[in-house]
Amino acid sequence: MAEANAIAKGKKENKSNSQLMGVWIRLKKNRLAIFGLVILILLILMAIFADILAPYGYDEQNLQNTFQTPNLEHPFGTDEFGRDILSRIIYGSRISLQVGIIAVGIAVIIGGFLGAVAGYFSGKVDNIIMRCMDVLLSIPQMLLAISIVAALGNSLANLMIAVGVSSIPQYARIVRASVISIKNQEFVESAKATGSNDLRIIFKHVIPNCLAPVIVQATLGIGLAILTAAGLSFIGLGIKPPTPEWGAMLSGGRMYIRDYPHLTLFPGIAIVVTIFAFNVLGDGLRDALDPKLKQ
Amino acid sequence: MGNLLEIKNLSIEYVTDERTNKAVNNLNLKIREGETLGFVGETGAGKTTTALGIMRLVPSPPGRIVSGEIIFEGENLLEKTEKEMREIRGNKISMIFQDPMTSLNPIMTVGEQIEEVIKLHEDLPKDELRKRAEAMLETVGIRKERFDDYPHEFSGGMKQRVVIAMGLACNPKLIIADEPTTALDVTIQAQVLELMKELKVKFNTSMLLITHDLGVVAETCDYVAIMYAGSVLEYGNVERIYNNPLHPYTVGLFNSIPSLDEDKDKLDVIPGTPPDPANLPTGCKFHPRCSKCMEICKQKMPEPIEVEEGHYVSCFLYDKDVKEGR
Amino acid sequence: MERVLIDVRDLKKYFNTKQGTLHAVDGLNFQVLKGETLGLVGESGCGKSTTGRAILRLHEPTSGEVIYDGEDILKYNNKKMKEMRRKMQIVFQDPYSSLNPRLSVFELIADPLYVNKGVVPKNRIEEKVKYTMELVGLEKRLINSYPHELDGGRRQRVGIARALVLNPEFIVLDEPVSALDVSIQSQILNLLDELQEKLSLTYIFVAHDLSVVKHISDRIAVMYLGNIVELTDYKKIFEDPLHPYTQALLSAIPIPKVGIKRERIMLEGDVPSPINPGPGCVFYGRCRNRKDMCKEVKPEFEEKKPGHFVACHIV
């Protein structure tokens, strides 16, 4: 009760941010989501301060110390070139997070724009855009990503483009659906009555109101993008050595999996933990942003 | 006439992590056999929650019946098991909801939906079941040839007739009608109200009519209870209350409706807004908006006082002790 | 004194549906005088809201003329229409869906000013918003609140403020009080009355509640199935209703008084579908006075008594 009072008080003081506050209050109650958030913050800090945190350079070879099992000097052991696995995972978080966030960014921006246009104008425009999306959607995402990388060539940028483009249709569909429901609400008509043009209505009134489902899908999508990138690296279409990327490390270690499982185990754990963190945060955000739970 | 339903000190609240909404507070009410009670109040006054409480259908969580008794035919409904309640619902007490568009299942024919209600409470062979359902349709003024039609093939008024047929199918003792005509147009509303009045006599049921429309109450009810912030402020015979409203809220309510036969430049206004159920005022719940508020109103909740026979008001203005004390 | 502000001539709005052409508004002729409130009543689906929106061109009319101050605004291009919109505003029925939930009260009221640059210089927008809030009775402390934090009455005041902020001459009030409780409804009705006097506004008041319409209107038009069947002074429509539909409608209103006996005219059946209506009178199917000619010939909307327009063969 006292806590409720305190929250109510806090709410009053922060009137201007009350909507965000409300989301935060509801999110805070979901322990798992907060746990995910904490992991994510740690991961991001790890990526930023990789230079300081990593005990060794990611490409520092030591051929005398290959295949060491975890020990004090190398907590996660070393790989076939004697490189410290912990350091490579720490540096690898840079690439993986970057791929995840930028790839999803590409998908959200392009997909969101196409979806918004399709939903707002409907009719022919809608039909053309959405049928193109359907074509993309009919190709399995992994296959599509493989063909894009294969066509463009191996590089970090191409990897991100491949992963991003292959998930555009999902975002286009989500945004289109919510735009259609929002554009029929009276406040859009009210904006028209004041003389607003279409562009202003889309950006000021429609898009801000369909952000919630997109944010949720994006957090879930980042996990998926990391996984897709890891998968591409695993089959040799992703990052080139010696740049450390978790999927590529997994792929490199698979030859030694019987004798030295730690080569695959630790990057595997890193991927699992990151995706887990994004997924629980995404789930939590979905609940927190759900307007039905308001009051 | 005996009391069919008596509610004593009923309190219901909705508890969420952020707030506790006190929807119903110490509510007292009775309905005699064969009588229609109008239950009047504004949005959020707790009318629907009370109705759901009687049916034991308050969604839980977050809803919770905190205290009180609901005596129906001499037995406390709050002590019944869920299984016993299922026997009562639809059979002895049935409910008619506000929105006929959403209270029918769109993928079942209207006939099947009426059959369904009967089937739940009575064991009848198939052809007899159909006969009963067809008879119910005819009772509410729908040709039985429409038995196999789907809800979307009916207009709003016709759908509400189907809903009424479902409510009456098991010949219940009590019907709770939650704003049954609010979603309908005036001319259709007149038809439906007329039908409900007829059927009530024919089936000899009691009715709890929830509404915000004082006109509807005047036309259909014998008694009326005025609700505000979860409690009954005034209760009595419709004629007495309409001719001699006593509680300042009731008076304000009557004066704020534009009248058809009088010309007024300005409507009288009850200042302010209904209180937040999570943060109810102390004492009389109406005192912050009341023009006749006294010191005692801010401290104590007034008890119902019987000012004339069968006319109860919860207001200190009519409390002799308070008056003499001044 | 009695200057015509808006002259609506043969206004039609059809929608194409799968079943056929829906005649939402089917040839309306009426005038709105400057400074008056014209009430538009009818049951759901009779086209009263569509009429309000068609006059503002929120729904582009199929045909007809809307002559505002001598000029047909249906012929205006987008740019001219945008300027025109300042003068004609609308208040919506549902204060829950008509306000963008992501904008604060300030942003909501200021938005029309940002869209229509030049009404108020940029540095005085805040002042104007505050002034308008005071005008509609919104407390200053609410300026940074969001719609979901306000109750229905205050939200509707925000809706009214949004319409007023551009200094319009004419406002369509589309069921502005039907989503509100009685005690709040009277507050808003009084506010609208005061504003009309203070700012010399002209209203079209769309509603289905006859007692509310009677209270606020100077003249009342009764609509049925896309047509105006009767239009006259607010008193006459109650004292001397001529059209059989108006008579039935009036007798169906439940009056909050006991012991009043009155004859109730019960209408049979439901409002027919506005899709592909027949040639005759729209009310033919439910009319108790119908004659054969009503089925074939649509009655003209004529002035049967001074200032009292009716569309009926029998009267």
Confidence of residue C35 (pLDDT cuts 50, 70, 90): very high
Per-residue pLDDT, B160: 87
pLDDT for the residue numbered A16: 41
Q: Is A12 on the interface with C (CB under 8 A)?
A: no
pTM (2 decimals)?
Answer: 0.81
Cβ of B186: how many Cβ atoms within 10 Å? 23
Confidence grade of residue A5 (pLDDT, cut at 50, 70, 90) = very low
Q: Tens digit of pLDDT for each residue in B203-216?
A: 888 999 999 889 89
The reply to whether B92 touches chain A by the CB within 8 Å rule is no
A81-101 per-position pLDDT tens digit: 878 888 888 888 888 888 888
Instruction: Tell me which of A245-249, B7-11, B200-204, C20-24 is least confident.
Output: A245-249
Which of C217, C233, C257, C264 to substitute to test the interface with B, most B CBs within 10 Å? C257
Residue C243: is its pLDDT beyond 70? Answer: yes
Beta strands across the sheet bearing B75-76: B20-32, B3-15, B63-72, B75-76
Helix axes A31-48, A262-289, angle to 10 degrees: 130
Tokens of C134: 């005071």
The C-alpha angle A182, A183, A188, rounded to 5 degrees, equals 105
Which SS3 state, helix, strand or coil, does residue C152 take?
helix
**Consecutive H or E run containing A37:** helix A31-48
Q: Is C84 on the interface with B (CB under 8 A)?
A: no
Extract the tokens encoding A165. Answer: 């483009």
Residue appearing with tokens 């909705």: B14
CA C279 to CA A204: how far, in whole Å?
46
Question: pLDDT digit string (tens) for B266-317?
Answer: 888 888 888 888 888 888 889 999 888 888 888 888 888 888 888 999 988 8
- What residue of C is the nearest CA neighbor of B142? C269
Q: What percent of chain B has pLDDT over 70?
A: 98
Q: In angstroms, what separates the C-alpha of C261 from chain A's closest C-alpha? A: 41
- Judge whether C164 is closer than 8 Å to chain A, CB to CB: no
B51 within 8 A of B95, measured Cβ to Cβ: yes
Side-chain-side CA neighbours of A130 within 13 Å: the count stands at: 18
Question: In this predicted structure, what is the pLDDT of residue C106?
Answer: 92
Contacts with A43 (C-beta within 8 Å, 6 or more apart), sequence order: A93, A97, A274, A277
* Segments of A144-278 assigned E as strands: none
CATH of the structural domain C4-310, one choice from 3.40.920.10, 3.40.50.1370, 3.30.930.10, 3.40.50.300:
3.40.50.300
CB–CB contact B258 C211 (8 Å) = yes
B132 pLDDT more than 70: yes
CB C76 within 8 A of CB C84: yes
A7 pLDDT above the threshold of 50: no
Among A residues 172-191, those touching chain C with beta carbons less than 8 Å apart: 185-187, 189-191
> Has the ipTM of the complex gone over 0.90?
no
Q: Please state which of the ranges B256-260, C121-125, C303-307 shows the lowest mean pLDDT.
A: B256-260
3-state secondary structure of C117: coil
Instruction: Give the C-alpha separation, A46 to C312, whole Å.
Output: 82
Which residue is associated with the tokens 């219940």? Answer: B172
Segment C215-234 mean pLDDT: 92
Look at residue A8 in the predicted model and tell me its pLDDT.
41
- pLDDT of C33: 93
pLDDT at B225 over 70: yes
Per the listing, tokens 């506004």 go with C201
Quick count: other Cβ atoms within 10 Å of Cβ B60? 12
**Which has the closest alpha carbon to B171: B142, B139, B204, B195?**
B204
- Per residue in A132-155, pLDDT tens? 999 988 888 888 888 888 888 888
Contact B17 A29 (CB under 8 A): yes
Task: Give strand pairing partners of C12.
Answer: C26, C63
Answer yes or no: do B257 and C187 touch at CB < 8 A: no
pLDDT for the residue numbered C89:
93
How far apart, in whole angstroms, are the C-alpha atoms of residue A269 and residue A277?
A: 12
Q: Which is it for strands B305-308 and B63-72: parallel, antiparallel or unpaired? A: unpaired
B157 and C CB contact within 8 Å: yes
What's the pLDDT score for residue C91? 93
How far does the CA of residue C165 sit from the closest CA of chain B (Å)? 24
**Binary contact (C153, B273; C-beta < 8 A):** yes
Total residue count of chain A as it appears in this document: 295
Q: Is pLDDT larger for residue A39 or for residue A238?
A: A39
Which region among A44-53, A115-124, C249-258, C270-279 has the lowest average model confidence (pLDDT)? C270-279
Cβ within 8 Å, pair C182-B212: yes
Question: Could you give all domains of chain B from N- to C-terminal order, each with its CATH number?
Answer: 3-92+170-325 (3.40.50.300)
Structure tokens at A170: 């999902």
Give the residue-averaged pLDDT of C35-49.
Answer: 90
| Tens-place pLDDT, residues A203-228 | 888 888 888 788 888 887 887 888 78
Give yes or no for residue A286 having a pLDDT over 60.
Answer: yes
Q: Which residue has the tokens 């101050």?
A: C69
pLDDT confidence band for A15 (50 / 70 / 90): very low
* Chain B residue numbers touching C151 (CB-CB < 8 A): 273-274
Q: What does the pLDDT average to over C70-90?
A: 90
Mean pLDDT of C109-123: 89
Instruction: Say yes or no to pLDDT of A18 above 70.
Output: no
Structural contact between residues A155 and A94, judged by C-beta atoms closer than 8 angstroms = no
If you measure CA to CA, which chain A residue comes closest to B15? Answer: A295
Q: Tens digit of pLDDT for each residue in B150-166?
A: 888 888 888 888 988 88
Spatial distance between the Cα atoms of B255 and B261, rounded to a whole number of angstroms: 13
Please report which confidence band the pLDDT of residue C32 belongs to, taking 50, 70 and 90 as the band edges. very high
Give the DSSP H or E segment for B226. Answer: strand B223-228
Query: How far apart (Å, rounded) are the C-alpha atoms in residues B231 and B223?
Result: 16
Q: What is the pLDDT of residue A3?
A: 39
Domains of chain A in start order, with CATH, are 75-293 (1.10.3720.10)
Q: How confident is the model at residue A4 (pLDDT cuts 50, 70, 90)?
A: very low
Cβ-Cβ contacts under 8 Å for B126 (sequence gap 6 or more): none
User: How is chain C split into domains, by residue range?
Assistant: 4-310
Q: How far is C82 from chain A (nearest CA, A)?
A: 5
HSE-up of residue A94 (Cα within 13 Å, Cβ side): 16
Report phi then psi at B224, rounded to 5: -145, 140
Q: Which chains touch B (3 or more CB pairs under 8 A)?
A: A, C
Give the model's pLDDT for residue A294. 45
Does the CB of B16 have a partner CB in chain A at under 8 Å? yes
